[in-house]
Amino acid sequence: MSRYLGPKVKLSRRVGVPIADINKHTGKELTIPGMHGYRGRRNTEYGVRLTEKQKLRYHYGMLEGQFRRFLTTAKKSKGNTGNTLIQLLERRLDNVIRRLGVARTIWACRQLVAHGHILVDGKKTDVASYIVDPGQVITFREKSHKMLRENMEQNAGHSVPAWLEFNPVQLTAKILNVPTPEDVPFEANMNLIIEFYR
């Protein structure tokens, strides 16, 4: 499994928005990386679309090839391509874990999944890109409960979206329905992203 191993804050600086809700990403003024930063050059139409696509890709912690596969799946399905894409990305197992607030970043959530701490309908699932369907129940291995409770204390004040039902006492979650674009706590212009791949 390939993944990005470089500095994470640089990704936030590159796209100009925090891609993770932690102090490292939100505490500083986000400037373009490099010694002199952005010199006031006007961005091209291609650059605007590229930045918007990168913003979404970094937020979900995906590489380009995987992001393209999700877009292809969204194009083949019925309905609005942008809405379908965001629904698929939100229902990825690593992202669902992040929305529950049991880990602080998408990278920590992916590690939880890869190390086999997550059970979907009672079966161990260690694939971060697994798409969770409405009605499925997510539980955690008992060995990881202490660590998850500590993470939740650090994440105090985190609100779980309406499309998820979470019981923090028993550490169980259920997918109630498919998320809508309004449920996503991250702004992205889906039209620009779709246009980028035309």
Sketch the domain layout of the chain as residue ranges. 8-88+183-196, 102-177
Q: Which CATH superfamily is domain 8-88+183-196 in?
A: Ribosomal protein S4/S9, N-terminal domain (1.10.1050.10)
Q: How far apart are CA 97 and CA 103, in angstroms?
A: 7
Tens-digit pLDDT profile for the chain (198 aa)? 567 777 777 777 777 777 776 655 565 555 556 665 555 667 788 988 998 898 889 888 889 999 999 999 999 988 889 899 999 999 999 999 999 988 888 888 999 999 999 999 999 999 999 999 999 999 999 998 999 998 888 877 788 888 999 998 899 999 999 988 788 877 888 888 888 988
Q: Measured in whole angstroms, how far is the alpha carbon of residue 5 from the centre of its chain?
A: 17
What does CATH list as the number for 102-177?
3.10.290.10
Residue partners of 192: CB distance under 8 A and separation at least 6? 48, 49, 52, 53
Q: How far apart are CA 8 and CA 33, in angstroms?
A: 12
